[in-house]
């Protein structure tokens, strides 16, 4: 119970990686704020799993692309648990298209959700995080696509690379306040986001993964908990959790 009495806000926790992160944080003792955008039923399933694991949580609808929505998300955390110790910026979408055909809306919505969404939540959570002298944690979920690019993903890669720059800058700004800021860059993880990929593309990707399998949401959740529950001398880093797909 390394995270006992800590309060963690997890954006996009109704499904996939965010759900696994919320459950794993709760198993380690944290109170979790389970954010979702439109899928309330799925968010309530996450809450049920958190409670089944012996944890406590609340479900809060908020669109991270909107600043006011993020302020309400953090207010809900403060109203229910009195503080925010951990912020996991996980909410994300894809709108894939080759650049020649990409519509302005496809570009903008991905940047708004995946990059501005993280900034909005950071801004909203800044004051309560600064109040915690015991060491805050911000984890931003990037992607290996932000490191190496991806065909049809100029919007997504730009947002995920932006997350890395944001992480490193913020890590420098907050280091003196005992708040670490890191990015986790998942490879290909088995969620609804990747379920839509064509089978032949999945097979090609898998042939390039040294560990020979897709990742699970729990693979990412383990790394997030590692960064939250200790790791006090790690900041400004990008940790790829990708079965060895991208090696530096």
Kindly state whether residue 107 participates in binding ligand NAP, applying the rule CB under 6 A: no
Kindly tell me which of 112 and 135 has the beta carbon lying closer to ligand NAP: 112
Of 36, 156, 188, 233, catalytic: 156
Q: Which residues pair with 182 in a beta bridge?
A: 139
CA 92/CA 156 separation, integer angstroms:
9
For ligand NAP, which stretch binds (CB under 6 A), given 60-68, 74-82, 119-127, 168-176?
A: 60-68
Q: Pattern 30-49, binding to ligand NAP, x per CB under 6 A?
A: -----xxxxx--x-------
Return the sign of the alpha-carbon dihedral for residues 233, 169, 160, 132: positive
The distance of closest approach from Cβ of residue 7 to ligand NAP in the complex, given in angstroms and rounded to an integer, is 18
Kindly state whether residue 90 participates in binding ligand NAP, applying the rule CB under 6 A: yes
Instruction: Examine the residue annotation and report whether 156 is marked as an active-site residue of this protein.
Output: yes
Spatial strand order in the sheet of 136-141: 56-61, 31-36, 7-10, 86-89, 136-141, 179-186, 238-241
The distance of closest approach from Cβ of residue 176 to ligand NAP in the complex, given in angstroms and rounded to an integer, is 28
CA 228/CA 131 separation, integer angstroms:
17
Spell 197-223 as b/e; 16+ CB within 10 A means b: eeeeeeeeeeeebeeeebbebebbbeb
CA-to-CA dists, residue 130 to 7, 47, 135, angstroms: 14, 27, 9
Kindly tell me which of 39 and 237 has the beta carbon lying closer to ligand NAP: 39
Kindly state whether residue 63 participates in binding ligand NAP, applying the rule CB under 6 A: yes
Contact set for ligand NAP, span 163-182 (CB under 6 A): none
Which residues does the annotation mark as catalytic?
156
**Which chain residues interact with ligand NAP by CB under 6 A?**
11-18, 35-39, 42, 63-65, 90-93, 113-114, 117, 141, 143, 186, 188-189, 191-194
């Amino acid at each position: 119970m390394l995270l006992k009495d800590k309060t963690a806000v997890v954006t996009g926790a109704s499904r996939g990686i965010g759900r696994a992160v919320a459950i794993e944080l709760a198993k380690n003792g944290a109170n979790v704020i389970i954010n979702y955008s439109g899928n309330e039923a799925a968010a309530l399933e996450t809450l049920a799993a958190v409670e089944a694991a012996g944890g406590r949580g609340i479900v809060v609808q908020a669109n991270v692309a909107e600043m006011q929505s993020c302020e309400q998300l953090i207010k809900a955390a403060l109203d229910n648990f009195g503080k925010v110790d951990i912020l996991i910026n996980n909410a994300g979408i894809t709108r894939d298209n080759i650049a020649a055909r990409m519509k302005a809306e496809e570009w903008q919505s991905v940047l708004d959700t995946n990059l501005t969404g993280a900034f909005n939540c950071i801004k909203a959570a800044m004051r309560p995080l600064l109040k915690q002298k015991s060491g805050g944690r911000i984890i931003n979920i990037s992607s290996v696509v932000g490191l190496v690019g991806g065909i049809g993903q100029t919007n997504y890669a730009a947002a995920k690379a932006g997350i890395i720059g944001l992480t490193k800058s913020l890590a420098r700004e907050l280091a003196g306040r005992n708040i670490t800021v890191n990015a986790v860059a998942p490879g290909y993880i088995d969620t609804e986001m990747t379920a839509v990929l064509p089978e032949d593309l999945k097979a090609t990707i898998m042939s390039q993964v040294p560990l020979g399998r897709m990742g699970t949401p729990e693979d990412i959740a383990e790394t997030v908990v590692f960064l939250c529950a200790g790791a006090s001398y790690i900041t400004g880093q990008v940790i790829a959790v990708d079965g060895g797909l991208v090696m530096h």
